[in-house]
């Protein structure tokens, strides 16, 4: 596996070594030893999978402590633009984001550490998305920020009118109006 640091060093792209021939392909999608040597110790406790159609945008989600989560995400089929936003106030990359195309062809994965909001949008007609988390889902600690927060200004690489959101995601507010458990206080919106 190849571990590639992004503009936010804690967010890491993982490229597997794919062995293919006319019968198909094989690759190792996770190796605990290599993961720990390159990223650190993370104990994943749950695997999740979703299937979505073009324009479905899930996010930007995070869980509040003590149920905050690190994620290892990948797109098994189709293509998504995957986004991780740094919510750690003491970080030099606070409010910055990393966006990476993940698809069934490149088989890349993205490690999203705790302290980040995460989301993805489907760029292909359909996509199957899978991810590991290192903490249990806790509905009372579930939170997120609006996908179109102007201050963060994610380039989702899809027209806004194509975006399809869940009822829950439609209710999400900009970061400056959201309780951010990774900062010391609420911030004021500058608009």
- Would you give the end-to-end CA distance of the chain in angstroms? 44
Backbone angles phi, psi at 86, to 5 degrees: -75, 115
Contact of 60 with 116, CB cutoff 8 Å: no
Strand ranges for 134-188 from DSSP E: 142-144
Secondary structure class of 10 (helix, strand, coil)? coil
Residues with catalytic annotation? 61, 131
Question: Can you tell me which residue has the tokens 């995957």?
Answer: 82
């Amino acid at each position: 596996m190849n571990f590639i640091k992004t503009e936010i060093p804690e967010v890491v792209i993982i490229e597997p070594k794919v062995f293919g021939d006319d019968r198909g392909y094989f690759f190792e999608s996770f190796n605990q030893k290599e993961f720990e040597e390159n990223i650190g110790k993370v104990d994943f406790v749950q695997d999740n999978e979703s299937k979505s159609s073009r324009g479905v945008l899930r996010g930007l989600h995070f869980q509040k402590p003590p149920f905050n989560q690190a994620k290892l995400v990948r797109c098994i089929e189709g293509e998504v633009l995957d986004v991780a936003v740094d919510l750690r106030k003491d970080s030099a990359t606070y409010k910055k984001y990393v966006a990476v195309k993940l698809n069934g062809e490149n088989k890349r994965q993205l490690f999203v550490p705790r302290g980040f909001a995460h989301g993805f949008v489907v760029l292909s007609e359909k996509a199957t998305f899978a991810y590991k988390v290192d903490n249990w889902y806790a509905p009372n600690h579930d939170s997120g920020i609006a996908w179109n927060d102007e201050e963060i200004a994610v380039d989702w690489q899809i027209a806004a009118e194509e975006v399809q959101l869940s009822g829950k995601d439609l209710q999400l507010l900009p970061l400056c109006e959201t309780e951010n458990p990774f900062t010391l206080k609420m911030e004021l919106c500058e608009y």
